[in-house]
């Protein structure tokens, strides 16, 4: 496995692209929505590397090595010695079809020697929870990681990269086949509790209507005070922790939209009726510690150094950490060492297992890490 990682700017992309020396089977592009030359770059890559798979998505910040940037493209070129790849993409016109989309992708990717699946999804018009549930229904024993595309802090429109195309309302799945690929993954948060638990008394999929029989948005606004006027973007600062019961690991959910008429809140993942939720708040040291814990867990079963680390962190973490944001990437580097290339993006949702003993879930407000290497 051979990996090259580049950070492309509006001024230097042409020069840097010509420097790629690896015979790439796969390109990962995490793209700023403001980057003007994306189609030109895709045209170049498709012409020079006609047999390579190219996937990617729009971001709320691009991770290249230990830097977090805007208005760039984080480009990673990967050559595999033994692993075979297969890409599946489909258009999703209706959020209610997210589960079916997951089933369809899982069924198409599921065959002998499948070792891992990476998913990049539309960030606003897909239900991430249902998508992951659909995938798991067809791939119950396969590790699944990835994330939901983002649109900076605007929450208006996201896009996917599908070879030479820039597409809206799409989901792309990438299957890795063979027994020589080593994969480690984990997802950790590090948020503090802000409120007592409340019962979800009315919800539908990812829309929350009532807590303890009271209007959900009214209760939520009462906790966040003056930040209520900045919803939905300020909702990233105050996510919810949801647990089904005392035995399950809590999942974090972040806001996509609010409806003042219905007094409802729409999240990027499902809020289960009769589950229990509590409001969370930021603790800088614990957020950075969460990223460190995620790296430790992802690396647990690697005897040697890994080749590539793909980081998918949440836009809400970036909003909270602000000028400290690179510290959560730096602690990942400290744990993984100097060898692996690091690439990634800030997202509207992260897909990964909590640890090696867990199944994949949709997470919010976490640092999710996938590390890859060939033996």
> Which pLDDT tens digits describe the chain residue by residue (375 residues)?
999 999 999 999 999 999 999 999 999 999 999 999 999 999 999 999 999 999 999 999 999 999 999 999 999 999 999 999 999 999 998 999 999 999 999 999 999 899 999 999 999 999 999 999 999 999 999 999 999 999 998 889 999 999 999 999 999 999 999 999 999 999 999 888 888 899 999 999 999 999 999 999 999 999 899 999 999 888 878 899 999 877 777 899 988 889 999 999 998 789 999 999 999 988 899 999 999 999 999 999 887 779 999 999 999 899 889 999 999 999 999 999 999 999 999 999 999 998 776 789 999 899 999 999 998
Residues 270 and 293 in one domain: no
- Residue range of the domain that includes 124: 2-188+285-374
| Residues whose CB falls within 8 Å of the CB of residue 323, separated by 6 or more in sequence, listed in order | none
pLDDT at 357: 67
Residues 38 and 95 in one domain: yes
Q: Among 280, 299, 314, which residue terminates a domain?
A: 280
Output the six-digit token pair for 78: 């990967």
* 107/126 Cα distance (integer angstroms): 19
Count structural domains, the chain.
2
Q: Among 280, 304, 320, which residue terminates a domain?
A: 280
Is the preceding peptide bond at 232 cis, omega within 30 degrees of 0? yes
Residues 62 and 144 in one domain: yes
- What's the pTM value of the predicted model, to 2 decimals? 0.91
pLDDT at 304: 75
Please answer whether residues 346 and 160 qualify as being in contact, where contact means their C-beta atoms are separated by less than 8 angstroms.
Answer: no
Residues 133 and 236 in one domain: no
Residues 274 and 291 in one domain: no
Residues 300 and 247 in one domain: no
Q: Which residues pair with 145 in a beta bridge?
A: 118
Other C-beta atoms closer than 10 Å to the C-beta of 6 total 20
For residue 122, which phi and psi values (nearest 5 degrees)? Answer: -45, 135
Residues 65 and 210 in one domain: no
């Amino acid at each position: 496995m051979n990996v090259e990682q580049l950070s492309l700017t509006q001024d230097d992309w042409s020069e840097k692209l010509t420097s790629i020396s690896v015979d790439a089977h796969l390109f990962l592009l995490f793209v700023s929505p403001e980057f003007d030359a994306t189609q030109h770059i895709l045209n170049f890559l498709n012409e020079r590397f006609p047999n390579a798979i190219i996937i990617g998505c729009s971001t709320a910040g691009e991770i290249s090595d230990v830097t977090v940037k805007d208005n760039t493209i984080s480009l990673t070129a990967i050559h595999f010695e033994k692993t075979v790849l297969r890409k599946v993409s489909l258009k999703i016109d209706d959020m209610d079809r997210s589960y079916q989309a997951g089933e369809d992708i899982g069924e198409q990717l599921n065959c002998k020697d499948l070792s891992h699946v990476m998913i990049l999804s539309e960030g606003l018009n897909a239900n991430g929870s249902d998508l992951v549930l659909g995938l798991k229904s067809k791939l119950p024993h396969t590790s699944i990681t990835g994330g939901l595309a983002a649109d900076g802090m605007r929450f208006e429109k996201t896009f996917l990269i599908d070879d030479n195309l820039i597409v809206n309302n799409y989901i792309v799945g990438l299957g890795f086949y063979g027994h020589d690929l080593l994969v480690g993954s984990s997802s950790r948060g590090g948020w503090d509790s802000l409120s007592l638990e409340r019962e979800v008394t009315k919800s539908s999929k990812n829309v929350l209507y009532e807590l303890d029989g009271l209007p959900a948005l009214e209760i939520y606004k009462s906790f966040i005070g003056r930040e209520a006027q900045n919803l939905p973007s300020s909702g990233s600062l105050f996510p919810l922790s949801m647990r089904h019961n005392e035995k399950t690991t809590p999942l974090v959910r972040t806001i996509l939209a609010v409806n003042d008429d219905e007094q409802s809140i729409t999240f990027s993942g499902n809020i289960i009726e009769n589950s229990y939720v509590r409001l969370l708040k930021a603790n800088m040291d614990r957020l950075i510690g969460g990223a460190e814990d995620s790296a430790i867990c992802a690396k647990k079963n690697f005897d040697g150094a890994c080749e590539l680390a793909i980081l998918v962190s949440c836009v809400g973490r970036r909003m909270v950490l602000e000028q400290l944001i690179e510290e959560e990437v730096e602690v990942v580097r400290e744990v993984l060492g100097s060898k692996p290339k690091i690439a990634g993006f800030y997202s509207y949702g992260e897909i990964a297992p909590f640890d090696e003993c867990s199944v994949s879930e949709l997470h919010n407000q976490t640092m999710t890490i996938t590390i890859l290497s060939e033996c």
